[in-house]
Structure formats: C-alpha cells, structure tokens
Structure 1
C-alpha cells in the first residue's frame, strides 16, 4: 500500500479540520431556517459568484476534463463556450423573477402556475440529478485519492463525506458559500501548479506540447458537420446551452444563492463572475489534459503501469501475461484517461505539493457536494415534507428537519458514489445522467414562464409526452436487433435538448389547439 509523506498528510489534515471549523463558526448564526437557507440575504455578489464557480469546478472537472482531453480532444470545451449565453438569459429573466417571488425553493411557483403535480415532478427530477451529481463527485475524489494512498475507494468516500456532512449540517448555506470561496482559490491555484509542473518537466516546454497536440489533433473542438448522431461541435454546443441554462435558471443550487445576495443586481453579477472565472479555467484543464498527453508521448515508459492496471480491469482473474500484454497493446488513450491525473500526481509531483494538490481536488469535490446537500435538504423540507406531510410545522421543527435531511442526502450521495465504482468515464456518466433528469424540468419551466396561455392540462400532457421521449431516447439502445429501427439515432447528449424542446413545443401546440377549439 502506498503512503503519503508526513508533510502531505499534514496539509490534507489541516485543510479538512479548517473546513469543519468553518462549519462550527457559522453554526452560531443558524437561529432560524431563513439564515440556514438564505444567509439572511447578506452575502456580497463577488462571494456568491466564486461560490457558483466553485460548484461548477468539481472533481469531475479536475479529473474528467483532463482525462477527456488526454483520451480524445477539446470537443467538450464547447460546453464552456455555451455558458455566456445561458448566463445572459438567466441574469435577465430568471434572477429577477426569483428575487420578486422571494421563495427560497425554485419550484414553489410551479404549483401556482400548473398545480401540485408540476412542483412535485420538478423536485423529483432535481433530487435525482443531485444524487447523480454527488455520486459522480464522490467517485471522482475517491478515484484520485486511491491512486495516491492505496486505501479503498469506499473508505475514502466515507472519510471525506463525513467531513463534508459535519460542516454543511452545522454551518448552513453561509458556511457553504464562504468555504467555497476558499475552495475556489485553492483549486484554481492547484490547477495552475499542475500545468506548471507538466510544462517544466517536458523537453521543449509549451512549444513541444503544442507541436504534439497539433500533430495528433488534440485541440480539435469537434466536427462542424450537422451530424447529431455523434459528439460534434453542435451537439456539445446545444447540450452545453441547455444544461447551463438549467443550472443558472432552475437548479436549486444556484437559485438558492440568488436569495443570499443583498439585492437583485448583486445576484445577477454573481453569474458573470462565475462565467469570467470558469471559462478560462476550463480552458486551463483541457490544456492540462493535452499537456499530459504530450508528456507521456515523450515518456511512454512512464505510463506502463497505468496501462497495465487498465488492462487487468478488463480481464478475468489470473489472466495470462500474454493476454495482459495483448490487452495493453489494444488500449486507446480514452480507455485510461481518468487515471492519468492521479498517476502523474503519484509519480511526478514533489513531496509537500502533493498535499496541496490533493487538497485542491478535495475542495473541488467538497464544494459541489456540500451545496448539493444543502439545496436537496431545502427542497425536500419545503416542497415535500412541509407541503404534504406537516404543513403546520414550526420553526424549530423545520430547523431540525433541515439538519437531518442535509445529513441524509450526504449519506445517499456517498452510496451513489460507491455504486458508480467501475465506470469508464466520470464526465460521460455525469453528462448522461444530468441530461436525462434535467430535460423535462427545464422544458416545463420555460413553458410556464414564456407561454401565458398554457394551462394545467396542456402542461401535464406535454410533460408526459416529453418524459416518454426522454425514456425512449435513453433506453431504446437496449432493444433487440429485430427492433433496431425503433432505436434512438441521436447522440445521448441530445436527450436534454430533445426532451426540453418536446415539452415546450408540445405545450405551445396544445395551447394553440385549445384556443382554436374555444373560438369555434
């Protein structure tokens, strides 16, 4: 079993303890649910912006993005290019809307617009999305720390998850935001440090990296053809726009932060701070992946152990040396991309700096998970428990419920992460799950905000149609060959796009049809 030097362990332990102490510090302020969920509307816009940026910059970004760039190209960077347009729409329409309503839950107004079913449907989609997000983040942090320490992924998730649960339960949304401000700085510095160490250790430096990347088409943003069956530039652009609009416009993680701002202008400003930070740092992580590719092209012998481990994972126990060698030779860079960053950290980063970078990766995971826990607890407590189970609950009961559900969702996120052990790509599994759960929710929100003519019946019918389309697109690939003509031919990233447009357009058509019938 590998073991970290004492200096690195000390850095990690100090970081974890400091995060827990932050929770204890802010726990003194949590006298009511408004403070726990909104921080009493006293957070400056720049802090909220860094907090949102930290939530975007998860361990999926730290590990999945370099892994993708290493294994293929920069096609997924197009996701970040779609962010400014989504942020503009959200800051112009969604943020003022939520600030006017004053409702901490992003989904309360759906009941006023379409009825209880709409609110419950959106909450269910959100909670499933959060479990998928938290699970993938837990998996990502465990994957990297396992390579560094040798401890089991399950044990790592439990230790890190316990620390996250403690400071999130104690401190509420204010602790989440201010720890994320620190985490945003730590993880950004960690990324710059990693890139510096790669460039420093490769003969020829940045010039050599660019030369190898160009030769092997590592900087390609994808094909510009109108082909929606593959991950082209347009498929990722459409996916990025709809997912980012979903995040900025209707995701409780972000909507709840808008309510913590001192005013609407500060809330809108926070979105642009996030975009200004995330887009260039996303570029940085893709550059790290391409740099790692160049580094191991120059030093292929340094990656043999990674390929050997990846080969063993694809073979039965006690496979012969010949089988292992043949499998290693057949591997593509995409088959072991997620293992590259941890491997580089284990073998190339000096003592002391490893602890700092591990802390950066941990902060990337902790910021996303803590915000997901707080948002999930808020939505469940207000939209489910208080709405259907105990509408007359007092402030003390609500606070107790928020504490309990925050911890429960943290534990559920850990369990989801454990179930994800063995998947090929963190980024792929997260994108697929988020597309499935988010598509219907965004379509319903847009229908409610844009179309004043759409009533309850049309919205319900349109949502049912959209859900059926999403289910078909997701699971039709498993149909037998005899029914191959019924399979979805579009790329999986188009699920959120198609699902959203299906619900929105179906609602408009049904509303127009009803209006026409009424006039005849």
Structure 2
C-alpha cells in the first residue's frame, strides 16, 4: 500500500476542512428555500461563470481527457470547440426565458406547455443523468486516490462523499458557488503544475514531446470524413453541441445559477466567461495527455505496473497471477489511459506539491458532485415533493425536503460510482450515459420553444417515438448476429443527436393534428 508523506496528508485535510467550513459559514444564511436554492439572487456574474467552469471541469476532465489523449489523440477536443455556438443560443434565448418565468426549476414550465407528463418525464431524465454523472465522478476520484494510497475505492467514495454532503447540505447553492470559485482556480493551478512537471521529466522537453506526438498521430482531431459510425471530428463536434446546448439550456445545474445572478445580463456573461476559460483549460489537459504519452514512450518499463493494475480491476483481485499477466500484456494504451496520470503523480511528483495536486483533483470532483446534489435536491423539492406530496409546503418542511434530497442523491451518486468500478474509460462511460438520458429532454424543450403549434398530443407522440429510437440505438448491440443488420450503425455519441431530432421533428409533424389546452398563447414566454 502506498503511503502519502505527512505534509501531503496535511494539505489534503486542510483543504477538506476548509470546504466544510465554507458550508458552515453560509449555513447561517439558509433560513428559507429561496436562499438555499438561488442565494436570493445576489451572486456576481464573474463568480457564477467560474462556478459553471468548475462544474464543467470535473474529475472526468482532469483524468479522462489526459487518458483519452494518451490512449488516442485530441479527437475529444472537438467537444470543447462546440461550446461557443451552444453558449450563444443559451445566452440569447434560454437565459431571458428562465429569468422571466421566475421558476427555480427548469422543468416546471414544461407542465404549462405540454402537461404534467412532460414535466415528470424531464425530471426523471434529469435525475438519472445526475446520478450517472455523480457516479462517474466519484469513480474518477476514487480511482486516483486508490492509486495514491492503496485504500479501497468504496471507502474513498464514502469518505469524500460525506465531506461533500456536509458542506452542500449546510451551505446551499451559495456555498456551492463560492467553493467552486476556489475549486476552479485550484484545479487550473494544479493542471499547470502537472504540465510543468511532466515536461521537465521528458528527455528533450517540448521538442521531443512534439516529435513523439507527430510520429504517433497524437495531435489529430479525428477523421474529417462525413462518417457517423465512428468517432470522427464531426461526430464529436455535433455531439458536443447537443450536449452543451442541453447543459446551458436546460440542465438544472446551470439554470439554477442563472437565478442566482443579480441580473439577466450578468447571467449571460457567466456563460461566456465559462466558455472562454474552459476551452483553453481543456486544451491544456489534452497537452498533458500527449506529454504523458511521450514520457512513458521514453520509459516503457514503467507501464507494466499500470497494465497489471488495469488487468486486476478487469478480472478481480481473486484472479490468478497468470490470467492477470496475460491480460495485462494484451492491453492497449486506450485500455488504461485513465490510470496513467495517477501513476505519474505517485511516482514522480514531489511531496507537498503532490498534496496540492490531489486537492486540485478532489476539487475537480467535489465541485461537480456538490452542484449535482444541490440541483437534484431542488428538482426533487419543486417537481416532486411540492407537486405530488405536499402542495401547501411551509418554509420549514420545504427546507427539510431540500436537506433530505441532498443527502439521498449524494448517496445514490456514491452507489452509482461503485457500480462503475472496472470500466475502461470514465470519459467514455459518462458520454454514453449522458447521451442516453439527456437525448429525450432536449428535443422536448426545443419543441416547446421553437414550434408554436405543437401541443400536448404532438409532444407526447414525438417523445414516445424518440424514446423508442433511443432504446433501440442503445441496446441494439444485443441483437443476435444473424440479425446484425437491425443493429444501430451509428456511433454511440449520436444517440442524443438522433433522439433529439426525432422528438422535435415528429412533434412538429403531428402539430397540425394536435388540439390541446396547453398552447403557446397561454404561455407567451415559451
């Protein structure tokens, strides 16, 4: 078992104590639901922008992006390049809409537009997305800390989860935002430190990294062919646009922050600040992955322990040494990319600095998880508890529902993380799950905003057909080989694209036949 130097343990403990203290500090203000969910609307735009940036820059980015660059190339960077267009759409249309309605939940207005089924459907999709997201981040955190300490991944998830739940429950959205401001800065500094340390360990420095990268096609953004069956540049770019539009336009994590801003203008500014920081920051992580590839190309003997670790996770600790050794020898770089940066940290980063970088990785995960907990609790309170359980809720019982929801969703996220132990790529699993769960929501939102004539029946038909298509695209790989022609031929990242378009297009197609009391004229803001 690896043991961290005392100075690193002290740095990490001080960071965790500081995060819990922030939650305690803001707990004194949380005497009503409005303060807990939207900080009474007095957070400056720059802080919200850094908060959104910190949510985007999760441990999936911190570990998954270098892992993808190490095992493949810079194809996934096309995701970041799609952000400006999605941000423009969100700032121009979605932010003014949400600010004008005053509804803290992103999904309340779906009931006004299409009926209660639409709101319930979106809530279920959002909650499943958040549980999957938090699970993938818990997994990423525990993977790193296990490599550094040797402790069981489940125990690591439990301990970090308790800290996150504590400051999120106590401080509400204001604690989430201000801790994320600190976390966003810390994780960026940590990334710069890692980059410097990796470059300093490569013989020949930047020129050698460039030479090795070019020789191994590490800087490619992917094929420019119009092929949607593999992860080409266009597949990732289109997927990124739809996911980012989903994030900025209808994800409760972001919509809730728009309500914390002092004005509509400040809320829109926060989106653009996030974009212009995140794009170069994500690029930095791709560079780190390429630098790590160059380092391990020069020191291939160091990869054996990483291969053994990956093989052991695949087969289980009870597998024979022979089986583990055979599997380890057959693994490709893309099969263990997520484990490379933790290995480098364990073996090459000096004491003291290691504690700071671990804190940066913790902050990368904690910011996204705390945001997900708070947003999920808000949706539970507004769209489930107040809608179906207690319509005449008091401030006291409303706060209790928010507290309980935060704890429950935190525990569900930890459980999802346990289920993900052993996956090949944390970034791949998150992208696939988010595409599946979010695919149906975005189409419904766009139908409500763009199509003036689509009513309840049209939306219901479109959503039903969209769900069928999403289920087929997701699970058609299970179809027997003799019926392989019935399988989904497209890349998994296209699920959200096709699902969204099916719901929207069929909703528009059936709009002329739809007669429903939920009409555009009754809800002019939609």
TM-score range, shorter chain: over 0.9
1: CA distance, partners of 2:399 / 2:320: 55
Which residue of 1 is the match for residue 520 of structure 2?
none
Which residue of 2 is the match for residue 142 of structure 1?
142
Q: Deviations over 1:182-230 (max 9, x none)?
A: 0000000000000000001111111111111011000110101111100
Q: Deviations over 1:169-190 (max 9, x none)?
A: 0000000000000000000000
TM-fit CA distance, 1:355: 0.4
**Most deviating of 381-390 and 167-176:** 381-390
2: CA distance, partners of 1:475 / 1:385: 33
Match status 1:319 vs 2:320? yes
Match status 1:447 vs 2:447? yes
TM-fit CA distance, 1:484: 1.4
TM-fit CA distance, 1:329: 3.4
Which residue of 2 is the match for residue 198 of structure 1?
198
Per the alignment, in what secondary structure is the counterpart of residue 392 of structure 2? coil
TM-fit CA distance, 1:474: 0.3
Which residue of 1 is the match for residue 412 of structure 2?
412
2: CA distance, partners of 1:511 / 1:15: 54
Query: Which segments of 5 or more consecutive residues in structure 2 lack a partner in the other structure?
Result: 516-526
Report matched runs for 1:86-235 at 5 Å: 86-235=86-235
Per the alignment, in what secondary structure is the counterpart of residue 492 of structure 2? coil
Structure 1 pair 222–397 and aligned structure 2 pair: CA distance change class (3 A): same
1: CA distance, partners of 2:466 / 2:62: 33
1: CA distance, partners of 2:483 / 2:302: 47
Structure 1 pair 333–450 and aligned structure 2 pair: CA distance change class (3 A): same
2: CA distance, partners of 1:320 / 1:471: 39
Q: Deviations over 1:90-127 (max 9, x none)?
A: 00000000000010000011000000000000000000
Report matched runs for 1:377-388 at 5 Å: 377-388=377-388
Which residue of 1 is the match for residue 263 of structure 2?
263
TM-fit CA distance, 1:310: 2.5
TM-fit CA distance, 1:482: 2.4
Q: Deviations over 1:461-493 (max 9, x none)?
A: 110000000000001111111221211110000
Which residue of 1 is the match for residue 70 of structure 2?
70
2: CA distance, partners of 1:31 / 1:314: 48
Which residue of 2 is the match for residue 400 of structure 1?
400
Per the alignment, in what secondary structure is the counterpart of residue 493 of structure 1? helix
Structure 1 pair 362–82 and aligned structure 2 pair: CA distance change class (3 A): same
Match status 1:80 vs 2:80? yes
2: CA distance, partners of 1:310 / 1:402: 39
Normalised by the size of structure 2, how large is the TM-score? 0.96
TM-fit CA distance, 1:505: 0.5
Match status 1:333 vs 2:333? yes
Per the alignment, in what secondary structure is the counterpart of residue 151 of structure 2? coil
Q: Deviations over 1:421-456 (max 9, x none)?
A: 111110010000000000110000000001110010
Report matched runs for 1:298-309 at 5 Å: 298-309=298-309
2: CA distance, partners of 1:250 / 1:108: 11
Which residue of 1 is the match for residue 423 of structure 2?
423
Q: Deviations over 1:44-64 (max 9, x none)?
A: 000000000000000000111
2: CA distance, partners of 1:371 / 1:443: 24
TM-fit CA distance, 1:301: 1.5
2: CA distance, partners of 1:339 / 1:278: 23
1: CA distance, partners of 2:465 / 2:310: 42
Q: How many residues align?
A: 514
**Most deviating of 308-317 and 105-114:** 308-317
Report matched runs for 1:234-313 at 5 Å: 234-313=234-313
Which residue of 1 is the match for residue 503 of structure 2?
503
1: CA distance, partners of 2:402 / 2:40: 16
2: CA distance, partners of 1:274 / 1:382: 27
Per the alignment, in what secondary structure is the counterpart of residue 127 of structure 2? helix
TM-fit CA distance, 1:325: 4.8
> Are 2:455 and 2:514, in contact at CA under 8 Å, matched by a contact in 1?
no
TM-fit CA distance, 1:68: 0.5
Normalised by the size of structure 1, how large is the TM-score? 0.97
> Are 2:454 and 2:514, in contact at CA under 8 Å, matched by a contact in 1?
no
Structure 1 pair 6–123 and aligned structure 2 pair: CA distance change class (3 A): same
Which residue of 2 is the match for residue 54 of structure 1?
54
Q: Deviations over 1:273-311 (max 9, x none)?
A: 000110000000000001000000011122221122223
Query: Which segments of 5 or more consecutive residues in structure 1 lack a partner in the other structure?
Result: 516-520
Which residue of 1 is the match for residue 14 of structure 2?
14
Structure 1 pair 512–63 and aligned structure 2 pair: CA distance change class (3 A): same
Which residue of 2 is the match for residue 468 of structure 1?
468
Structure 1 pair 327–268 and aligned structure 2 pair: CA distance change class (3 A): same
2: CA distance, partners of 1:479 / 1:171: 49
2: CA distance, partners of 1:508 / 1:265: 32
TM-fit CA distance, 1:320: 5.4
Per the alignment, in what secondary structure is the counterpart of residue 391 of structure 1? coil
Query: What CA RMSD, in Å, does the superposition of the two structures yield over aligned residues?
Result: 1.2
Per the alignment, in what secondary structure is the counterpart of residue 224 of structure 1? coil
2: CA distance, partners of 1:395 / 1:383: 16
1: CA distance, partners of 2:417 / 2:275: 28
Which residue of 2 is the match for residue 352 of structure 1?
352
